[in-house]
Structure 1
Amino acid sequence: MSWEDQHTRTRIVHTVLTRAAADPDRPDLFSDIPELERLFGGADGVLLALRYRWNNHFDAKMDQAQQQGQTAMEAYLELAAEQPVLRAVLDAQYRRRQSQSEAMAR
């Protein structure tokens, strides 16, 4: 992957997070973003990148929490407060997929 592609991937992630700041449940969160398909393979690829970002931040929070005597829940809540849009996107997509799964099961 070229540096240009890496920078474009970063811009795509920032675009999604900017849109999600207004409404993480918006149905067009991943629509009309140039290069998203090519660089991420679709919305699922962006979600994987966002999940990876969350997990990296959470791992760092857990290391810090252990040093400070905090619980995992305290670390999670602290990170959720620091990264509310990222958490909201992941939660909204989880809810959407749960609804889709329930609808298909009927």
Structure 2
Amino acid sequence: MTEPRPAEQPIVPTVWVDGHPQLEAIAAAVWEQCDRSDSGLCVEDDPRSIAVAALAAVHSAPATPAAVLRDAADRLDRLGLRDLATQELRRMADEAETGGAQ
């Protein structure tokens, strides 16, 4: 029999979870900092570079869903992708902070 996992120890997801602060931060850091394919759809970089981007993201990951959404919008802004997607991310962040009340 295995010992139960302490309540304060976080469970590491084994699949993608939308809105998970660390997963979102890692994905954004890898996308922003690592080389991509000619089509821009795939990350193609040395695994060591990906590991560095992931570790940096985990250590600086935002703590709340609103912070994750704002961070994603800021990253898109820095890439010059200001559009409805960034507006929607910021709207969702505001909604996450207020619990849906406007």
Which has more helix, going by share of residues?
1
- Could you state the TM-score of these two structures normalised by the residue count of structure 2? 0.30
Higher relative contact order (CA 8 A, sep 6+): 1
